[in-house]
Structure 1
Amino acid sequence: MNSSPAFDAARFSAAPHSAKGRLRSFAAIGVVLLAVGTGWQRPAAAEQPVNDSAPATLTRGQQIYAQQCLSCHGEGGRGETDGYADPLIGDASIGELAEIISDTMPEEDPEQCTGDDAKAVAEFIYESFYSEAAQLRNRPARQQLSRLTGTQLQQSLADLYQHFFGTPFRVKERGLSASYFNSGRWDKKQLKVERVDPVLDFDFGHDAPVEGVTPEEFYIHWSGSLQVEHSGRYEIVVESTCSMKVRFGHHEHVLIDNHVQSEGRTEFRRTLNLIGGRQYAIQIDFTQRKRKTEQPPAKFALRWVPPGGTETVIPNEYLLPSTLPSGFALQTKLPPDDRSYGYDRGTRVDRQWEDAITSAALEFGNAAVKELWPQYKRKHRRESDENRGRLRGFLTELASVAFRSPIDDETKRLYVDDQVDAVEDDQMAIARACLMIIKSPRFLYPTLDQQAPVSRRVATRLALALFDSLPADAWLVDQAGKDSFAIDPKADQKNARKNVEQRIRQAALRMSDDPRLHGKAMEMFFDWLDVDPAAEVSKDPEQFAGFDAHLLLDLRRSLESAVSDVFWSESSDYRQLFLRDWNWTNQRLGEFYGEGWMPASETTGHRLVPGNPAAGKTFGVLTHPLVMGHLSYYDTTSPIHRGVFLIRRVLGRTLRPPNEAFTPINPELHPDLTTRQRVELQTGEAKCQVCHQKINALGFPLENYDAVGRFRATEKGKPIDASGGYVTRDGQQVDFESPGDLARFLAENDDAHRAFVERAFEHFAKQPLAAYGEEVADDLVRRFRESDFHIRRLIVEIAVVVATEEFNKENFNEST
């Protein structure tokens, strides 16, 4: 059977990000001792004869395939021929395949394979190698041994550092704590006001900042923490007309120092790499000194430029009044990880990665010398320092946390004693030890730990799954040390497995309240929504005047708030991501988006509630302007981009790119046509409709939202036609008449539920869900539904799956 463009477009290939695609093996180099990934192994389906007991239909289909299809599509549908290079894999139903084959195959004479013959070959293809079940049967997924990804390395070093200062905690209040003194320094007797300032953007002029303070001389101390949602480069900007000093991350780390004022300089900038989900302690000293000459007006502002954003006063929602434990953010630039499967994988090991790890180790060693070692000495000042005992104790604790388990004598000799004995200088010994520890496979390859006790391995996998990190906080380390995740030999063995699994679940549930989970979850949501938080989004300024970098940053804050509110709510209900009829807004968003977006005041966010003019126009994140804007062109909407997004990311269906480069019809060529009409015109050919009847039917229901996400009822003076539809995996046709119909469908649809579970699993586990067994996927989906689609509980169950595998291997000789 010869191929044709129509048959090629029938989604007979895996999505580029599919976790069920081919796994690649790799060999580690440099400091890595050995790391070989297990790839797919599949016998060719066409080489597998249908046995005598197989249904006659399959036998007939196999014969037709061999006669008419094999020459182009290859044995087992692998392709790899001159006529057809791609494999025949996908998720269309047997009926859909039969219809495509009947209409288009073989290319030179479609009438050769119709009716029962088309059904027979469709069934053979589907059962032998095309369907998801056939793919897993022929090429069972395997977990792949990987190094730490870039994110995992940053998070692990941050927790290795923070181990010596304490565990972070969630803070609901917002703003920075402020102390106002009627003095030029900290003087308890002169403390006049203590309060929480929502933001730092003050122009006191020549007036007193608060009652009881003289304007000629005063001192303000602000303290708290800066919360970061997304990883990336942040520029911290301080405007100050008076003496000031800013400490950041650690109480002795001075980020900006203008204590001795620079003549005429009032603006100061520092650029830092910060990690999503982390909070960084911040302390600011602001002093108006008494002068003999005329005093300058007192002014202070704390601003930033977030990744992909523009300069703005740091908003209230990112400021915390509590000073959280000191934090570390790696500044070394790391090479990108492999994302070909839709999630980061630590499979790339080359000279660039090796050099980056060396730089990271040296950077961390510097922080250990300046900040960790003094902290340790203060806590252990009463202990004997014979033979540099405190230094050895510090490095032993550092290595034990980094290696996720107490170290034995031989390991201590190599990583601690040999480094201390080699040099007399303590700082050099710490730098040498940090270089050895951080470049060790025991740190870089966390799952190379089969010699560790099972409870240690469980703790490692819980921390990796939930935080992308290592178990550094005292509670989890203590649980692992007590062997809490192992079977008690005195317990009833019949219930032992269930009891230990429940203890693991309770540990994961406790950890799910940690602020570090927020950053990883936010990263997952933005990836799921196909929104790059650092991306610039440009729109036609003539059509969309006012859509600028400031508005875009507000939209990102709005989307973050909407997702965060659902995620951390008591119900944490996945369905509300589609059904909520409100958004976070402010004055600028209200002025641009108009009806239903105006805030209650100029300073507070406002929820759009039922009965509001926006009712029937806002459907959670699905119709959020930032999402709609990302899925549009510069000057017009793109039903195709929106349809592809829904098929691949929200519904989890496979879809291959078109054979030829696709250029949308210029609207100027058909000025009277609506966007829907232009898309229908361009994709109306039979070879296009095989895919576009599915893509367009999902994209068109979102046509009420223009290229910047504003709701519209008409285009080109014509009413918007928001009708569309979807064919489920089991062949059910569902019709939509409005974006509300689509939103309600996605909230309740089985395909969407399973796709969300799989995407969440891959993000948190960094492994394909299929590698843990088909029953695990079904069980997670079932638990998700039984929990009323509770997102945080789903993440807990994912962590339990990852962690209990180690327990099962240890105690029941089971492994997926």
Structure 2
Amino acid sequence: MIPSPTICRFALAALLGVVACSARASAAESNDAAAARGAQIYAEQCASCHGAEGQGVPSEYPSALTGDSSIGQLTEIISETMPEDDPETCQGKDAEAVANYIFETFYSEAARLRNRPPKIGLARLTGDQLRQSLADLYARISGGSWNHDERGIRGTYFDTPNWKNEAKKIERTDAVLDFDFAHEGPGEGIDPAEYYIHWAGSLMADRSGEYEIVLRSTCSCKLYLGSSDRMFIDNHVQSAGRTEFRKRIHLTAGRGYPIKFEFTQRKRKTDQPPASVSLSWVPPGGVETVIPQRHLISASYPAAFSLQTKLPPDDRSYGYERGIEISRIWDDSTTQAAVEFSKLVADELWPLYERKNKKKPNENRARLRSFLAEILSTAFRGTLDDATRKVYIDKQLDATDDDAEAIRRVMLLALKSPRFLYPLLDTNRSPSQQAANRLALVLFDSLPADEWLLKKISKKELDSPSQIEQAAWNMVNDYRTQAKTRDFLTHWFEVAGGDEISKDEESFPGFNKAVVSDLRASFDAMIDEIVWSEPSDYRQLFQADWAFTTPRIAALYGDAWKPKDAAGEEVDSQKNGQEQNRLTASVSAPESHLGLLNHPLLMSKLAYYQTTSPIHRGVFLYRHMFGRVLRPPNAAFSPLNADLHPQLTTRQRVELQTNEVNCQVCHDKINSLGFALENFDAIGRFRETEKERPIDARGSYEDRNGNKVEFKDARDLADYLVNSEDAHRAFVEAAFEYFVKQPIGAYGPDKLSELTERFRNSGFKVRDLIVWIAVTAATEPLTNHQET
């Protein structure tokens, strides 16, 4: 009997199934054998240098054997370089077997997450978090600032030597404080022999650090900074012949500091000197310049606090600041910070609170107890229980009848308490309080002090993810979040440091501190424009065909950097000295502007004194832009002196120095990226030739999956960065860990992939990503994750 077609099909399927099962069993046996062989080879040839579990051996290779190379790349490295004393020992299938063993056992990211899952670690406040927290603690009583669009400082001009409403002649917003009234006076209807000008507004810094304020005036004047009652420079009684005053102050980014300036021209019987005034500053690492309009806000904010105590640097070994080091220096600095802050609480906040609450009953110093409870509940990030109130407030007030002394005792005790210094010690707080604590810490580097946020806590309106996300959206456009975002991106692009950038004057005439200062302002302004515009598009970091420029920048970098108006016409900004640092937009050919990727500040930072450095640029791209791992070099690296090989281009010289096989393990990755930026010289000017030869800007990159892409120039590289999955993951991970200051893996093994996918689907909106990062940190349960 002939079998039916159906029976034949079943028989064939069964036969194929048996074959497939046999093949799988054979493959499994083969894989098991390869794994066993790999483990044996590693134990015999590798463990003595790298440790039994790849942890490293101090006397040989102290670094752990971890990274992100593919199995294919590991196989190639082992075949060519391992063991170092006899690289030909492990070849072919053996190299592949040991590469697989290393990758799966402890090398890969998945293996590391499996072997030692990261946890949310208990950490103290970093220096930035301490400064911001104290500033918001002060603002809890004085009042907070708000976003205000009008830039400049508000001036009121009087035809008398003091404020008289009937003598008011002019009211306007002045762009900057830089006037030479000479003998003509400040305006129509005002007697040039006698007048008074009152300027008021707020001052805001892009970067935290020490600023030198420089006031020049030929007339009587008084400058208040930080408070309308806090005298900063007093020349009310003019010093004979003295017209310049300098004073230093630490300003914190994202804060508006009220500024008031009173200028008086007095009538004199004898010769009257010409009237002039200017207000300048020297920003951190910068040069003296008239305080630009973009740093002046026409609204007068409430009094603000900026900590002046010097704080030690925080650990940055993971790429972001962590509050993990407890030292005598740190302990002493926090004590000094507490002393400094407590004095202003007693001198400024308590009198202000008393004025606002003078009608409230005051039996048993009730007003003072209420005042201190309000500050401490904010500092401790939650309601005070009876025991805490008794220890921190009642006992201190009972110990002294002097209100100022009691305030200082309370504040010193509170600000040295772990309840303040360790923000994650809040697991006994309500869900809404914990959520608000995380949102403020992630977005502001601070604590919840804004009235609207405290109301949400009291009403339990932050108990759900949707409520938390709505609150995060209310916070993301705040100046404090903007400042932290700017700081993140300058660190990610490695231009945040205050280290001086200098070049050979003969090779690069005109490249000086003033230009570098302008370049820093240009870089910061471009970050703000990209992130806080409506698209908020990450891709513009690499593809924007415009930049902010100044006349000084344009004079050095040429037509591509000349300021242009909205119609694309060139702007003559050199009307007077104050215009030299005025930022305006510049649009030009695609090769001149590649977002921030080829910004002169970055290119000059990643270059030597006289020449470019493809190695520095390649390391930056590989580690920061693509988020990849490079092992430290085996020996100290010294570049070949260009004078020893005058006939070689920079590319040829680097290839000569790094062509040894052990060097190529890393430099094959580094050089091929750095060469793509060779069209930009040591100060970031576009060039097409070097030593009268065409620039060879070809480069390449091999991604985590082993796929290789070729670049013909920086434009190709920029376009690839926009679309690279490695670059997307690197940006999301860097942003998360900078804002949260915890490893992203501690929030789940798939959290990085989830956020990266959501980021891509949003159209790469940076602002949206910041919100999602904050929401993730605020909604993730913490109790079971903390390490003590």
State the TM-score bracket (shorter-chain normalisation).
over 0.9
2:334 match: 357
**Within-5 A mapping of 1:673-692:** 673-692=648-667
SS of match in other structure, 1:273: strand
Residue 796 (structure 1) aligned with residue 771 (structure 2):
yes
How far apart are residue 367 of structure 1 and its match? 0.6
Q: Is the 8 A contact 2:81 2:661 kept in 1?
A: no
Give, in angstroms, the shift of residue 164 of structure 1: 1.2
Contact 2:204/2:256 (<8 A) preserved: yes
Say whether the 8 Å CA contact 2:177–2:278 is kept in structure 1.
yes
Aligned to 1:538: 502
Deviation of the 1:106 alpha carbon:
3.2
Listed as ranges, the matches of 1:188-207 within 5 Å are 188-207=165-184
Q: 2:584 aligns with which of 597, 606, 609?
A: 606
2:189 paired with 1:185:
no
1:507 aligns with 2:471: yes
Aligned-residue CA RMSD in angstroms? 1.6
Number of the residue aligned with 1:672:
647
- Counterpart position of 1:719: 694
Answer yes or no: is the 8 Å Cα contact 2:159–2:168 preserved in 1: yes
Aligned position for 1:171? 148
Aligned to 1:163, the other structure's residue is in SS state helix
1:782 matched to 2:760? The reply is: no
Q: CA deviation at 1:210?
A: 1.1
Instruction: Decide whether aligned partners of structure 1 residues 814 and 75 sit closer, same or farther in structure 2, where only a CA change above 3 A counts.
Output: closer
Is the Cα contact below 8 Å between 1:148 and 1:444 reproduced in 2?
Answer: yes
**Distance in 2 separating the partners of 1:322 and 1:157:** 23
* Paired residues for 1:258-297 under 5 Å: 258-297=235-274
CA deviation string 1:483-513 (max 9, x = no partner): 1123xxxxxxxxxxxxx11111111111101
Q: 2:459 aligns with which of 478, 482, 491?
A: 482
What is aligned with 2:484? Answer: 520
Within the alignment, does 1:628 sit opposite 2:603 as a pair?
yes
Correspondence for 1:112 among 83, 86, 89:
89
- Which whole-Å CA distance do the structure 2 matches of 1:102 and 1:299 have between them? 74
Q: Is the 8 A contact 1:466 1:517 kept in 2?
A: yes
Which of 1 and 2 has greater Rg? 2
- Tell me the SS of whatever aligns to 2:630: coil
Note if contact 1:362-1:431 (Cα within 8 Å) is conserved in structure 2: yes
1:695 corresponds to which of 659, 662, 670: 670
Q: Which amino acid aligns with 1:117?
A: D
In structure 1, C-alpha distance between the alignment counterparts of 2:431 and 2:473, rounded to whole Å: 19
SS at match of 2:247: strand
Could you tell me how far apart the structure 1 residues matched to 2:43 and 2:331 are?
Answer: 49
Of 391, 416, 425 in structure 2, the residue corresponding to residue 448 of structure 1 is 425
Q: Is 1:57 equivalent to 2:28 in the alignment?
A: no
Residue ranges of structure 1 left out of the alignment (5+ in a row):
1-50, 487-499
Aligned to 1:707: 682
1:466 aligns with 2:426: no
Q: 1:349-396 deviations in whole A, cap 9, x for unaligned?
A: 222222111111111111111211111111101111222111111111
User: 1:292 and 1:98 mapped to 2: Cα distance?
Assistant: 91
- Contact (CA 8 Å) 2:619, 2:670: kept in 1 or not? yes
Name the SS of the counterpart of 2:561 in structure 1. coil
Aligned to 2:556, which of 589, 592, 604?
Answer: 592
Deviations 1:65-124 (A, max 9, x none): 223323333211223164443322111100111112222333444333222221111111
Matches within 5 A, 1:418-437: 418-437=395-414
SS of residue matched to 2:737 = helix
Deviations 1:249-273 (A, max 9, x none): 1111000111111111111111011
User: CA, structure 1 residues 596+175, in 2 after alignment: closer, same or farther (shift >3 Å)?
Assistant: same
Question: Could you tell me how far apart the structure 2 residues matched to 1:551 and 1:352 are?
Answer: 36
Q: SS in structure 2 opposite 1:202? A: strand
- Cα pair 2:34 2:97 within 8 Å, conserved: yes
1:217-256 counterparts in 2 under 5 A? 217-256=194-233
Number of equivalent positions: 746
3-state SS of the aligned residue for 1:353? helix
SS of 2:710's partner is strand
User: Which residue of structure 1 aligns with residue 12 of structure 2?
Assistant: none
TM-score if structure 1 supplies the norm length? 0.89
**Secondary structure of the corresponding residue to residue 621 of structure 1:** coil
- Displacement of 1:62 in angstroms is 1.5
State the alpha-carbon separation in 1 of the partners of residues 317 and 288 from structure 2.
33
Shift of 1:290: 1.2
Question: Partner amino acid for 1:96?
Answer: Q
What does residue 644 of structure 1 align with?
Answer: 619
**How big is each residue's C-alpha offset from its partner over 1:271-315, in whole Å with a ceiling of 9 and x where there is no partner?**
011111111110000010111122111110000011111111111
Mapped contact 2:155–2:199 kept (Cα < 8 A): yes
Task: Give a deviation string over 1:638-674, Cα, whole Å, max 9, x none.
Answer: 0000000001111100012211111111111111211
Structure 2 CA distance, aligned partners of 1:770 and 1:293? 76
What residue identity is the alignment partner of 2:744?
L
**1:52 shift after superposition:** 8.5
Which residue does the alignment assign to 1:348?
325
- Which aligned pairs between 1:565-576 and structure 2 lie closer than 5 A? 565-576=529-540
The corresponding residue for 2:545 is 581
C-alpha spacing 1:293/1:632, structure 2 compared with 1 (3 Å): same
Indicate the percent of aligned positions where both proteins have the same amino acid.
54
What's the TM-score, normalizing by structure 2? 0.93
Query: What is the match of residue 728 of structure 2?
Result: 753
Contact 1:94 1:126 in 2 (8 A): yes
Secondary structure of residue in 1 paired with 2:780: helix
Tell whether the 8 Å contact from 2:522 to 2:583 is kept in structure 1 after alignment. Answer: no
Which whole-Å deviations, capped at 9, do the CAs of 1:376-432 have from their partners, x for residues lacking one?
Answer: 111101111222111111111111111111212221121112212211111111111
Distance 1:85 1:248 in 2: 52
Residue 107 of structure 2 is matched in structure 1 by 130
Q: Can you list the C-alpha shifts for 1:10-33, whole angstroms capped at 9, x where unaligned? A: xxxxxxxxxxxxxxxxxxxxxxxx
**Other-structure match for 1:490:** none
CA contact (8 A) 1:168 1:514 kept: no
Deviations 1:160-197, CA, capped at 9 Å, x for gaps: 00111222211222111111111111111111111111
Partner Cα separation in structure 2 for residue 353 and residue 468 of structure 1? 18
1:439 pairs with 416, 419, 426, which one?
416
Tell me if structure 1 keeps the 8 A contact 2:200–2:260: yes
Change in Cα spacing, 1:527 to 1:81, as seen in structure 2 (3 Å) is closer
Counterparts of 2:378 and 2:677, CA distance in 1: 50
Which residue of structure 1 aligns with residue 744 of structure 2? 769
Question: Matches of 2:345 and 2:89 in 1, distance apart?
Answer: 74
Which range moves more in the overlay, 669-678 or 531-540?
531-540
Which deviations, in whole Å up to 9, do the C-alpha atoms of 1:408-466 show, x marking residues without a partner?
22211211122122111111111111111111111111111122111111110110000
Shift of 1:53: 10
What are the superposed Cα offsets for residues 125-164 of structure 1, whole Å, 9 maximum, x if unpaired?
1111111111111121111101111111110000000111
Distance in 2 of aligned mates of 1:86 and 1:233: 37
CA distance in 2, matches of 1:442, 1:423: 24
Q: 1:731 offset after TM fit, Å?
A: 0.7
Q: Given the alignment of the two structures, is residue 161 of structure 1 paired with residue 138 of structure 2, yes or no?
A: yes
Contact 1:229–1:278 under 8 Å retained in 2: no
